Chain A
Amino acid sequence: MLQFSVVKSYDDFVLKKKWTAGRGEVIALFGPSGSGKSLSLRSIAGLEKPDRGFIKINNRYIFHHDRKIDVPVSERRVGYVPQNYGLFPHMKIGENISFGMHRISREEKNQRVTELLSRVGLESKLNKYPSQLSGGEKQRIALLRALANSPEVLLLDEPFSAVDIPVRKILRNEIREFLEQWAIPVVLVTHDPEDIDILAVKTVHYGIDHDPVLKSGYPETDAISV
């Protein structure tokens, strides 16, 4: 369960959103660019700090403005796939996937990596570099890497923006099947309605809001708390 209730101002734009995603649920943040979708995602990851509100994963606050809780990025246990996948170009696929695995032996790491790769049928790519992979393969590796640490939430930022339209259709179905194996909330940022049709259980609409009242004074946290 992921609860999101956040206010954040950015230049002349104010993000004010409240939504909830359950276990195994894919929630789509849908809207035009510049409406704060990625900002929301980055706030959950801990890469941006909201001005007000709270973010809660299961029973754990990872951010709470009034209680002064702000768990560092490295301790939030979120899986994050940025827009262009953010694969480490200087590391082989195996190293990319095992990069976040802590406190386990080398054998265990290798075993876990092979097991993960076999789930998406990419065992043969173990010793390849990201530049040797196709767009769809890169995406699957980025997903595996994000999930390798058993995160409590998965964050996907425009996962299909970097692949061709015909490939998108295949990937959407693939991802859906794949995500069904992980019973965690998934937050998907998109501006493509087709992503929502195939993948999302719930949709949160984002718009560009230039509310002058919001700009001059923030609402009390109570007013937006769940």
Chain B
Amino acid sequence: MNWLPVYLSLKVAFYATLLTAILGIPLGWLLARGRFAGSSFLSTVVMLPMVLPPTVLGYYLLLLIGRQSIIGRWLQDTLQINLVFTWQGAVLAAAIVSLPLMVRAVQASVENVDPGAEDVARTLGKSELVVFSRITLPLAWQGILAGLVLAFARAMGEFGATLMVAGNIPGKTQTLSIAIYDAVQGGNYQQANFLVILISVITIGSLMALNKFSGYKRW
């Protein structure tokens, strides 16, 4: 059995979830609490990866970070970073695809936090950062956790955008779902079955863990 795609997928999903959290938590909070012009536009843009075909997303991403683009050339020339056909590129693709799930979950759970409690904390002399970290975040953490699990599961199974950006290089960018496709194409059903069962177990396991956690309340 070839375990490399499993290891690679776990690595890509881990970093993609991290990136999604860094972007998604502030974005979800902003969409739930911010009163600013353009919030509905922002909401639309953030949700786009949910409805666009992953291949289209991957193509956009290629245009953005490929050597022909300004950003891609700058990354290459100034920072010596090349994202195309690398596992870091796969992280980027998976993160973008998972972002809407994270933002949605955070937005919904922040909207559920009593704004009165946040206002009281402000009048009690607390800064916005303290209000967020001691009131909003602890009260919204279940939704945020749900977002993280969904983002991880989505990143784990990412196929289309990853294939466009990172390609199918065994041992380098060949993630689980791509390896499954590759194995089936090559008639290697033993490897395909192994990977299919594994990804099913991981995904079902994480969703079950999520269900167990989401009923938990200390107060």
Which residues does A use to contact B, with CB under 8 Å? 42, 45-47, 73-76, 78-91, 99-100, 102, 129-131, 142, 145-146, 149
Known A99-B121, A131-B219; further 20 A-B contacts with Cβ < 8 A: A45-B123, A47-B122, A73-B122, A74-B123, A74-B124, A74-B127, A80-B119, A82-B116, A84-B114, A84-B116, A86-B119, A88-B121, A89-B117, A100-B121, A100-B124, A100-B126, A130-B219, A142-B120, A145-B120, A146-B123
Bound-state Cα–Cα, A89 to B140, Å: 12
List B86-133 residues whose CB lies under 8 Å from chain A.
Answer: 114, 116-127
Q: Do the beta carbons of B125 and A87 come within 8 Å of each other?
A: no
Q: Which residues of B contact A45 (CB under 8 A)?
A: 119, 122-123
Q: Do the beta carbons of B123 and A80 come within 8 Å of each other?
A: yes
Q: Do the beta carbons of B123 and A87 come within 8 Å of each other?
A: no
Q: Which residues of A contact B125 (CB under 8 A)?
A: 74-75, 100, 102, 149
Bound-state Cα–Cα, A90 to B123, Å: 19
Q: Do the beta carbons of A76 and B123 come within 8 Å of each other?
A: yes
Bound-state Cα–Cα, A149 to B124, Å: 8
Q: Of B117, B122, B127, B218, which one neighbours A88 at CB under 8 angstroms?
A: B117
Bound-state Cα–Cα, A81 to B120, Å: 7
Does B135 sit at the interface, judged by CB under 8 A? yes
Interface core residue of A42, A85, A86, A102 (most chain B CB under 10 Å): A86
Which residues does B use to contact A, with CB under 8 Å? 114, 116-127, 135, 138-139, 218-219
Bound-state Cα–Cα, A46 to B126, Å: 13
Bound-state Cα–Cα, A87 to B114, Å: 9
Bound-state Cα–Cα, A83 to B135, Å: 18
> Which DSSP category, helix, strand, loop or mixed, fits chain B's interface?
helix
The 4 residue pairs across chains A and B that have the minimum distance between CB atoms? A100-B124, A86-B116, A82-B116, A129-B219
Bound-state Cα–Cα, A202 to B170, Å: 80
Q: Do the beta carbons of A89 and B127 come within 8 Å of each other?
A: no
With A79-B123, A149-B125 as given contacts, are A90 and B116 in contact (CB-CB < 8 Å)?
Answer: no
Q: Do the beta carbons of A73 and B123 come within 8 Å of each other?
A: yes
Q: Which residues of B contact A79 (CB under 8 A)?
A: 123
* Distance in Å: Cβ of A114 to nearest Cβ of chain B: 19
| A–B pairs, 26, beta carbons within 8 Å | A46-B122, A46-B123, A47-B122, A47-B123, A74-B122, A74-B124, A74-B126, A76-B123, A80-B123, A83-B116, A84-B116, A86-B114, A86-B116, A86-B117, A86-B118, A86-B120, A88-B117, A88-B121, A88-B135, A89-B139, A89-B219, A90-B138, A90-B219, A102-B125, A142-B120, A145-B120
Question: Which residue on chain A has the smallest CB distance to residue B124?
Answer: A100
Q: Which residues of B contact A46 (CB under 8 A)?
A: 122-123
Q: Which residues of A contact B119 (CB under 8 A)?
A: 42, 45, 47, 80, 82, 86
Question: Which residue on chain A has the smallest CB distance to residue B135?
Answer: A88
Bound-state Cα–Cα, A78 to B120, Å: 10
Interface core residue of B122, B124, B139, B219 (most chain A CB under 10 Å): B124
Bound-state Cα–Cα, A78 to B122, Å: 10
Bound-state Cα–Cα, A112 to B120, Å: 19
Q: Which residues of A contact B219 (CB under 8 A)?
A: 89-91, 129-131
Question: Which residue on chain B has the smallest CB distance to residue A75?
Answer: B125
Q: Of A80, A89, A131, which one neighbours B120 at CB under 8 angstroms?
A: A80
Bound-state Cα–Cα, A89 to B119, Å: 14
* Distance in Å: Cβ of B121 to nearest Cβ of chain A: 7
Interface core residue of A74, A87, A131 (most chain B CB under 10 Å): A74
